[in-house]
Amino acid sequence: RDLRLAEAQDRHRAHGAVEPFAVLALSGPAARVPVVFQEGMRKLERHALWFPPLDRATPPVCDACGGPPGEASICADPAHEALLCPRCRTFCQTCGAGLCSGHARVCSCGATACPAHGAACESCGEACCAAHTLSCGRCCRKFCRRHAFACGICGLAACTDHAKRCGSCDIELCGEHQSPCDVTGRTACPRHAKACGGCGETVLDLAWKDGRCETCRTLASAAPGDPAVAAAETLVPEARGAAWRSARTKTRVLLTGSTLLSRYRVWLARDLSLLSAWGGSKLFGMKKIR
């Protein structure tokens, strides 16, 4: 690994070159000679002082310490045009690019990262190396290990805004593996999500027993004059006069109606607006009617 890093660092060493035509245009005792340092696609022009009578040249200096540049690097921050001597730079652990002290991100694991191979946590600003940057699959923002979690099912990261815990086993879940339970108001992982055979809702296993969700198991005859029944009969007129039973979830009201030949299931929001309605004959089952 040390050898690979040394090779990578070698690739990132800037190569200085004196432009020969510039030297030919000289006159006078001392001259400024442009020296172009090149590192990959980036070029940096500095000047050397040349004294033709003595045939002596003063090379450009390190932009950080003013000393001789030696085997110079250009800071890997794309906006920072700085020539750095070996003493004034650190290397990105991933690509080997040289960095000034202002642009080297040092992760809590001790690794240094350049701007392309590290990130600052969107939540706390902490510097993270490539291996310890978690990118939320929902919002694509980057976070440190304290502000994002790996999904307990698929391993993909989710930030604190987009991860939810399973109410049964407590593992963190990415958006893809969260199943909301309106009975408990919590979230179920795929292992603890159960489908109700009565209403078809998916609920947390804690709210499910013998194939039925808690909502269906707690359905009770609606009280006379129940405003939810009046709302259901206005919204689904064909169900008028049915015998109604009702139950509440965290955010909704479930009503089931029964007439001599037909059955109905109506989901209302807490403000009694219609969410969905199902109906059909007792013999052939229900289908969505609203």
The contact set with Zn ion (CB under 5 A) reads: 62, 64-65, 75, 77, 80, 85, 88, 100, 103, 107, 109, 111, 121, 123-124, 126, 129, 132, 136, 138-139, 144, 147, 151, 153-154, 159, 161-162, 166, 168-169, 174, 176-177, 189, 192, 196, 198-199, 201, 213, 216
Token match 């390190």: residue?
A: 62
Shortest approach of Zn ion to residue 113 CB, angstroms? 8
Q: Which of 213, 219, 184, 209 is nearest to 200 (CA)?
A: 213
Our CB check for Zn ion shows the closer of 233 and 249 to be: 249
Q: Which is nearer to Zn ion, 70 or 241 (CB)?
A: 70
Q: Which is nearer to Zn ion, 30 or 245 (CB)?
A: 245
Residue by residue, DSSP assigns 151-208 as -TTT--EEETTT-EEBTTT--EE-GGG-EE-TTTSSEE-TTTEEE-TTT--EEEGGGE
Minimal distance in Å, beta carbon 157 to Zn ion?
8
155 CB burial (10 A radius; 0-12, 13-18, 19+): exposed
Nearer to Zn ion, 159 or 239 (CB): 159
Shortest Å distance, C-beta 286 to Zn ion:
14
- Would you state the structure tokens that stand for residue 50, as one six-digit string? 């040349």
How far apart are the C-alpha atoms of 163 and 285, rounded to whole Å? 38
Shortest CB 190 distance to Zn ion, Å: 8
CB of 179 to Zn ion, least distance (A): 10
Those residues whose C-beta lies under 8 Å from the C-beta of residue 164, and which sit 6 or more positions away, are 172, 173, 178, 187
**Shortest separation between residue 268's beta carbon and Zn ion, angstroms:** 15
If the CB atoms of residues 4 and 225 are measured against Zn ion, the closer one turns out to be 4
> Which segments of 40-186 are extended strands (E)?
42-51, 56-58, 73-74, 83-84, 90-91, 98-99, 105-106, 112-113, 118-120, 127-129, 134-135, 142-143, 148-150, 157-159, 164-165, 172-173, 179-180
- Whose structure tokens read 């001789």? 68
- Shortest separation between residue 109's beta carbon and Zn ion, angstroms: 3
- Tokens of residue 177, six digits: 């593996």
Contact 127, 114 (CB under 8 A): no
User: 3-state secondary structure string, 6-28?
Assistant: HHHHHHCCCEEEECHHHHHCCCC
- Measured from the CB atom, the residue of 146 and 240 that comes closer to Zn ion is 146
Report the nearest approach of Zn ion to the CB of residue 231 (Å). 20
Distance, in Å, from the CA atom of 190 to the CA atom of 205, rounded to the nearest integer, reads 10
> Of 44 and 85, which CB lies nearer to Zn ion in the complex structure?
85
Given the complex with Zn ion, which of 30 and 138 has the nearer CB atom? 138
